[in-house]
Amino acid sequence: MDAFEYISASHRVVFGSGTLRELPSMLQKINATSVLILCTPQQVSTGEEVQKLLGDAGVAIFTEATMHTPTHITEKALLVAKEKGVDGIVSVGGGSTVGLGKAMSIRTGLPHLCIPTTYAGSEMTPILGETENGRKVTRRDPKILPTAVLYDVDLFKTLPTGLTVYSGINAIAHAVEALYASNRNPIIELLAVEGVRVLCESLPVLQAEGQDSAEARQQALYGAWLCGMCLGSVDMALHHKLCHTLGGLFNLPHAETHVILLPHALSYNAPATPAAMAKLAAAIPGSEGDAVQGINRLYKKLGINISLGGLGMPEKGVDEACDIALANPYKNPRPLEREGIRELIRRAWAGEQAIQDL
């Protein structure tokens, strides 16, 4: 067994069905008595539900959370928090809302309680990606990790099928990179394999039946939690760096970008990570020992057939994205080679199937 270091981040997590009713007591445990509730314009009703549950402690709702956490939105929310004199933050939603809560918390020191409504897993990571002038910059700091997380499976009953699938695949990407991270360890590998397994089993059920299967919802959320813990504990590699580059540069939707790039980044790194690929393949039903083909088959089962070009990325952006990716060195199991990285991005732009020949 390789030598390793494992550092555990401690924060409170509540998981179950109907757990939203525990929100007032959770605020007491993080010493928050008056909070600003964060959400996107699409989730105002959920934000209002939370505010009603909190009563006087829910001082105000900020409804402008935006993907890629643009700094001007963060500054606007900070002004509201200062004006209202709050002593805590409650974020209700997916990665966009959680990101805003993280950005505010790291700037102010206010406790941050997350109520996730997608499977993305951002709530479990001490990672913050912020966008300014078209560039997304990512940083990691233990203080970015939310103070507490409340998972309520019931909040996922109305999650659209497309968002269910894309945010679930986004979660799988966290575990994939954890398996070949430079600072991986046996605990994280166990979490990663289990997270991938339950998501690969539950997402097809949710895609076929919507959110009617309470068991599949619970399994998917459990898997997303595990995968988020993986990303929060180890370094990111090629997949996440490309997603942040492309998302910030072309304002592409976060989850869909992760979905498109995952099999291509996996195929690029596969030759350098045979042990990780074997563990991943074992966790994907129907992979027949080939992790990349396992992901391809999962996509086919889920009806996923999208491209970066279809999301609005211009073809000329392939070279620009490649230049940026190569200009910022980071840890990756396989050295970053311009020809291979450019071809990876081109295939993702065109919506081609991933194959191991990069």
pLDDT per position as a tens digit, 240-277: 889 988 988 898 988 899 999 999 999 999 999 999 99
User: Among all chains, which residue has been given the structure tokens 């928050």?
Assistant: 32
User: What's the rounded mean pLDDT across residues 16-43?
Assistant: 95
Report strand pairing: 127-132 vs 88-93: unpaired
How does DSSP classify residue 182? T
User: What's the rounded mean pLDDT across residues 217-246?
Assistant: 91
Alpha carbons 230 and 34: distance in angstroms, whole number:
32
Give the pLDDT band of residue 140 (cuts 50, 70, 90).
confident
Per DSSP, helices labelled H in the chain are 23-29, 44-54, 71-84, 95-108, 161-179, 186-209, 214-233, 238-250, 254-269, 274-283, 291-302, 308-311, 317-327, 338-350
Looking at the chain, which residues constitute the CATH 3.40.50.1970 domain(s)? 12-156
Looking at the chain, which residues constitute the CATH 1.20.1090.10 domain(s)? 161-350
Alpha carbons 288 and 121: distance in angstroms, whole number:
28
CATH code of domain 161-350: 1.20.1090.10
**Architecture, CATH, for domain 12-156:** 3-Layer(aba) Sandwich (3.40)
Is residue 314 pLDDT above 80, yes or no?
yes
Least confident range of 114-118, 268-272, 329-333: 329-333
CB count in 10 Å sphere of residue 17: 13
Bigger pLDDT: 67 vs 101: 101
What integer pLDDT is reported at residue 340 of this predicted model? 94
Angle at which helices 338-350 and 238-250 cross, to 10°: 60
Is residue 294 pLDDT above 60, yes or no?
yes
Give the pLDDT band of residue 8 (cuts 50, 70, 90).
low
Alpha carbons 89 and 233: distance in angstroms, whole number:
23
What integer pLDDT is reported at residue 312 of this predicted model? 94
Give the pLDDT band of residue 10 (cuts 50, 70, 90).
low
